[in-house]
């Protein structure tokens, strides 16, 4: 592969990561340079697909679907050896080749991106998990060959869980933004359970103030996300020592977004929950100083009032683990 386009493609992926994924981008600074660019490549691939789906409002859904299909076809052609005339695909194609990443993960991911063009809400959490398998869980398993593990089979499920935890954190933080795009990722059964309607969401977006019912709903989803983090925590000490500080930082910083949501009384409409720059730097330094193999403390469980949010799902099914 020509080194000039390849280097430019890796640079393009890093630029996308730096611009759109500040928290995770900072964490990748803790990786060795030879691993870092491959993580940027995977981020760039997933982000660009997301951009086609979400950042092309001037195009109709049909036009966006056609653009995603064309880009997916160029990716598949690249896998078959055809030169990729694209600003970032050479990087992800090279990364796949270097680490022999499972192509099924990429198929599932692109299928989930296509779902975003037609599916605007999910009836149950099981339905949402089916979508998140492609949009989030597979990203965790794509990363494993790069991060390395002494027992990849054992690390696979925690990697999936971390992808799910990150995705659900995004859904909680971005309820208002997603609603403005015509999507509701929080399951319909949960909205019904807490008496939340689309009109409630519309009013909260307009006023930038959440009702008590909406806060209770967000509190329920926050507790659910923390259970995914708890299921993911054992996987980080399984990683290669050179990867652990990065993933510890990503784990702590992303779960820290949930802490910010909780500190705002679970009102995700008043402002976008973010982790301060000082906290990001402090966490990164702490993770560098943590010895490899040390356990990762799981986020504490949230005390959800039983009369409002008794969980109807078995614990194992709720965490995404096989029952």
The pLDDT assigned to 323 comes to 30
Is the pLDDT at 43 greater than 60, yes or no? yes
pLDDT band at 299 (very low <50, low <70, confident <90, very high): confident
Angle at 183 between CA 178 and CA 186, to 5 degrees: 85
The pLDDT assigned to 127 comes to 97
Taking phi over 0 as left and psi of -120 to 50 as alpha, with beta for the rest, 81 belongs to: left
Is the pLDDT at 203 greater than 80, yes or no? yes
The pLDDT assigned to 303 comes to 52
Give, to the nearest 10 degrees, the angle between helix 103-115 and helix 61-79.
170
At 251, give phi and psi (nearest 5°).
Answer: -60, -50
Give the Å distances, CA to CA, from 151 to 105, 223, 311: 19, 29, 33
Closest CA to 148 of 246, 230, 233, 232: 246
% of residues, the chain, pLDDT over 70: 90
The conformation of residue 181, written as its DSSP 8-state character, comes to T
Taking residues 53-63, what's their average pLDDT? 80
Say which range, 3-12, 175-184, 213-222, has the weakest mean pLDDT: 3-12
The pLDDT assigned to 311 comes to 42
Domain ranges of the chain: 1-106, 119-304
Q: What is the token pair recorded at 66? A: 């056609």
Q: What is the token pair recorded at 55? A: 């950042």
pLDDT band at 301 (very low <50, low <70, confident <90, very high): low
Taking residues 282-305, what's their average pLDDT? 84
Taking residues 278-292, what's their average pLDDT? 94
The answer regarding whether domain 119-304 maps to CATH 3.40.250.10 reads no
Q: What is the token pair recorded at 235? A: 């996987």
Is the pLDDT at 185 greater than 60, yes or no? yes
Rounded-to-integer distance, Cα 81 and Cα 40, Å? 22
What tens digit of pLDDT does each residue of 71-87 get?
999 999 999 999 888 99
**Which of 90 and 305 is assigned the larger pLDDT?**
90
**Which of 114 and 314 is assigned the larger pLDDT?**
114
What tens digit of pLDDT does each residue of 18-30 get?
999 888 999 999 9
Is the pLDDT at 100 greater than 60, yes or no? yes
Q: Other C-beta atoms within 10 Å of 303: how many?
A: 8
pLDDT band at 54 (very low <50, low <70, confident <90, very high): confident
Dihedral of alpha carbons 140, 230, 228, 231, sign: positive
Say which range, 42-56, 289-303, 309-323, has the weakest mean pLDDT: 309-323
CA atoms lying within 13 Å on the CB side of residue 234: 9
Taking residues 287-311, what's their average pLDDT? 71
Surface-to-core class of residue 112, CB atoms within 10 Å of its CB (0-12 exposed, 13-18 middle, 19+ buried): buried
Is the pLDDT at 255 greater than 60, yes or no? yes
What tens digit of pLDDT does each residue of 101-157 get?
999 999 999 999 999 999 999 999 999 999 999 999 999 999 999 999 999 999 999
pLDDT band at 302 (very low <50, low <70, confident <90, very high): low
Mean pLDDT, the chain, as a whole number? 91
Say which range, 65-69, 193-197, 290-294, 314-318, has the weakest mean pLDDT: 314-318
Reported pTM: 0.90
Is the pLDDT at 216 greater than 90, yes or no? yes
Q: Other C-beta atoms within 10 Å of 292: how many?
A: 14
Closest CA to 209 of 263, 260, 270: 270
Is the pLDDT at 318 greater than 60, yes or no? no
């Amino acid at each position: 592969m020509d080194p000039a386009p390849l280097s430019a493609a890796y640079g393009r992926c890093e630029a996308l990561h730096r611009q759109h994924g500040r928290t995770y981008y900072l964490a990748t600074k803790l990786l060795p340079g030879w691993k870092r660019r491959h993580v940027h490549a995977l981020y760039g691939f997933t982000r660009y697909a997301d951009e086609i789906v979400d950042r092309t409002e001037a195009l109709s859904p049909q036009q966006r679907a056609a653009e995603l299909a064309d880009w997916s076809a160029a990716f598949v052609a690249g896998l078959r050896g055809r030169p990729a005339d694209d600003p970032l695909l050479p990087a992800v194609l090279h990364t796949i080749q270097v680490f022999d990443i499972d192509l099924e993960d990429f198929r599932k991911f692109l299928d989930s991106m296509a779902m975003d063009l037609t599916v605007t809400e999910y009836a149950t959490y099981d339905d949402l998990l089916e979508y998140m398998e492609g949009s989030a869980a597979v990203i965790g398993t794509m990363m494993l060959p790069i991060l390395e593990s002494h027992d990849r089979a054992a690390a696979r499920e925690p990697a999936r869980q971390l992808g799910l935890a990150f995705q659900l954190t995004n859904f909680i933080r971005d309820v208002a933004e997603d609603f403005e795009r015509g999507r509701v990722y929080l399951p319909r059964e949960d909205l019904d359970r807490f008496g939340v309607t689309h009109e409630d969401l519309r009013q909260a977006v307009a006023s930038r103030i959440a009702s008590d019912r909406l806060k209770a709903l967000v509190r329920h989803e926050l507790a659910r996300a923390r259970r995914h983090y708890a299921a993911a925590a054992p996987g980080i000490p399984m990683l290669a020592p050179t990867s652990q500080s990065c993933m510890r930082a990503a784990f702590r910083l992303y779960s820290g977004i949930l802490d910010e949501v909780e500190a705002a009384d679970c009102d995700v409409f008043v402002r976008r929950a973010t982790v301060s720059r000082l906290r990001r730097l402090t966490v990164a330094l702490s993770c560098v100083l943590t010895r490899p193999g040390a356990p990762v403390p799981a986020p504490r469980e949230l005390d959800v009032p039983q009369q409002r949010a008794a969980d109807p799902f078995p614990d194992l099914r709720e965490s995404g683990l096989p029952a």
